[in-house]
Structure 1
Amino acid sequence: MIWLAMPLTALLYLLAKKLARRFKSPLLNPILLPALVLMALLAVADLDLADYRQGTRPLSLLLDMAVVAFALPLYQQAAQIRRQLLPILACCGLSVLISVGTTLLIGALVAARPELLASVATKSITTPLAMSVSASLGGIPAIAAGLVIIVGMMGAIIGFPLMRLAGIRDPQAQGIAIGAAAHAIGTGAAAEVGAVQGAFSSLAMVMCGILTALLAPPIFHLYLWLTY
């Protein structure tokens, strides 16, 4: 399967990337398009998902190095980050409170089950942390992982157009917003927009992940104590 999975995955990504550069449409996302095409191919050809995933394992191993590479723009913008560290921390903390708080509020209104809320509350942080925090809250890690991918793709597709529509044009503010809301997938999109956006998105992604791991459990348990 490796001889099919790796070339096909790489080819679809490169084609989607070329289309995105040519037509400049947020819908032509180089992550979303290959994912949709691959899902259709796997369904039509009746290929086993586990076999295909195993075939792309060498590419998956490169993801760890790609995440570590986000540290480079952070280093390049270190002076600006140090000067604004407290406002950045405040923004990330508020983002976590809004993300977790609105999830629990909506869950209370629709009487959602606690395990479902625990799976949804971590939707805005990167997948490994989301699965770990969700499991510690009694959630379902698979649902948490799926929601993280959906939220990340939505942020990468509509994040920058939405901010331009709202008049948010400061690159630092754009980067923090994308990193806080759309984690690694959004950070990849931010890095393509500009070095400053990529650096501040990386920082926000890391900070929001740490703050969610610290703040989500007590907020969730307080919610359970008040509602059950």
Structure 2
Amino acid sequence: MMFWLALPLTVVLYSLTRTLYRHLSWPVINPVLLPTLVIVALLLMFHLPLEQYQQGTTPLTILLEPAVVALALPLYQQARQIRAKLKPILICCLLSVLISVITTLLIGYLLGADITMLASIATKSITTPLAMSVSQSLGGIPAIAAAVVVIVGVTGALIGFPLLKLLRVTDPEAQGLAMGACAHAIGTAASAEQGVTQGAFSSLAMVVCGILTALTAPLLFALYHLLGA
């Protein structure tokens, strides 16, 4: 039964959340967060098999790939502005990656976390497939990495723009870079709703930070081991 209900249920919940957000515009009314919570609650309440839900939503899973490719459109539209500011963009993305990984290692060390857990959460700010791959190469657990990435993305989508507004970060390019660097694909989706410029720069930051994390995280973990942590 869940196999046949999975797809229409997901689409209806997403559409209702989007409609509600247009009327209220509250950050907590997130089209990823609320449908996820409702579906998880239904699965647990009625003891429904997760496997059937996953199989039923296969068409949506297949559409994820072209959806990611479609993020290249706002990049193309903002190509001139991106080329003009490529150097500061790369510097900001590199600093974001270094801060993300180093703070994870430092806080984990102070809390006594083992290296496996650190490797699982150090990739928290990049998109899920890449985070799982990098985490596994570092000796982490891909499932934990994926869960942490989703939590970080949803949190970023919820508080990202309100926090930027509170800090008086009003430049759309800076907003997009911050969201893409910290909240990956979910933050990029939230950025695209704010405007074309935010969406383009968020897409760029998501891609660049993913690549830089894959390059720098192994080096930082090797240094962590050399220091005897």
- Is structure 2 residue 11 aligned with structure 1 residue 10? yes
1:76 matched to which residue of 2? 77
- The letter for the 2-side match of 1:25 is W
Count of residue pairs the alignment pairs up: 228
Distance 2:3 2:209 in 1: 35
1:40 matched to which residue of 2? 41
Distance 1:71 1:134 in 2: 26
2:138 matched to which residue of 1? 137
Normalised by the length of structure 1, the TM-score is 0.99
1:214 matched to which residue of 2? 215
User: Deviations along 1:97-146, whole A, 9 cap, x unmatched?
Assistant: 00000000001111110000000100000000000000000000000000
- Is structure 2 residue 22 aligned with structure 1 residue 21? yes
1:52 matched to which residue of 2? 53
2:173 matched to which residue of 1? 172
- The letter for the 2-side match of 1:47 is L
| Residue 57 (structure 1) shift | 0.7
1:98 matched to which residue of 2? 99
- The letter for the 2-side match of 1:199 is A
Distance 1:227 1:124 in 2: 26
Distance 2:3 2:43 in 1: 15
Distance 2:162 2:198 in 1: 14
| Residue 227 (structure 1) shift | 2.5
- The letter for the 1-side match of 2:190 is A
Secondary structure of the equivalent of 1:227?
coil
User: Deviations along 1:30-89, whole A, 9 cap, x unmatched?
Assistant: 110000000000011111111111110111110111100000000000000000000000
Distance 1:37 1:155 in 2: 20
Secondary structure of the equivalent of 2:227?
helix
Q: What is the root-mean-square deviation in Å for CA atoms of aligned residues?
A: 0.7
Normalised by the length of structure 2, the TM-score is 0.98
Unaligned runs of 5+ in 2: none
User: Deviations along 1:8-42, whole A, 9 cap, x unmatched?
Assistant: 00000000111111111000001100000000000
| Residue 170 (structure 1) shift | 0.2
Distance 1:116 1:100 in 2: 13
- The letter for the 1-side match of 2:5 is L
Distance 2:66 2:84 in 1: 28
- The letter for the 2-side match of 1:189 is A
Secondary structure of the equivalent of 2:184?
helix
- The letter for the 2-side match of 1:200 is F
Distance 1:67 1:75 in 2: 14
- The letter for the 2-side match of 1:112 is A
1:151 matched to which residue of 2? 152
Percent identity at matched positions? Answer: 65
Unaligned runs of 5+ in 1: none
1:200 matched to which residue of 2? 201
2:128 matched to which residue of 1? 127
